[in-house]
Amino acid sequence: MNKLNIESNIADPDAFYEKLIDVHNGLTDEESHFMNAKLVLLLANHIGDADVLSEALALARAGASTASAAPEPTN
């Protein structure tokens, strides 16, 4: 059984993050959400392991609950 790798595994994470943000430029919110969903499905297909994907879903869901409860920053 494979296990989800949650350690840093991207050679240049800052460059990838910049590309991820840049790919959203010019998209509407709806298009951006669609693109994110498509990216998730493409990467899930690449991973392919149901146990790893289930672990990723559980971790992402737990993080979403925490993120949505975070207060808005004030200036």
Task: Please state the domain count of the chain.
Answer: 1
- Has residue 12 been placed in a domain? no
Residues 17-67: pLDDT tens digits?
A: 999 999 999 999 999 999 999 999 999 999 999 999 999 999 999 978 666
Measure CA 29 to chain center: 16
- Has residue 74 been placed in a domain? no
Q: In the prediction, which pLDDT does 18 show?
A: 98
Which domain does 43 fall in, by range?
31-60
Q: In the prediction, which pLDDT does 75 show?
A: 47
Question: What is the rounded distance in angstroms from the CA atom of residue 63 to the CA atom of residue 65?
Answer: 5
Helix (H) or strand (E) holding 59: helix 50-68
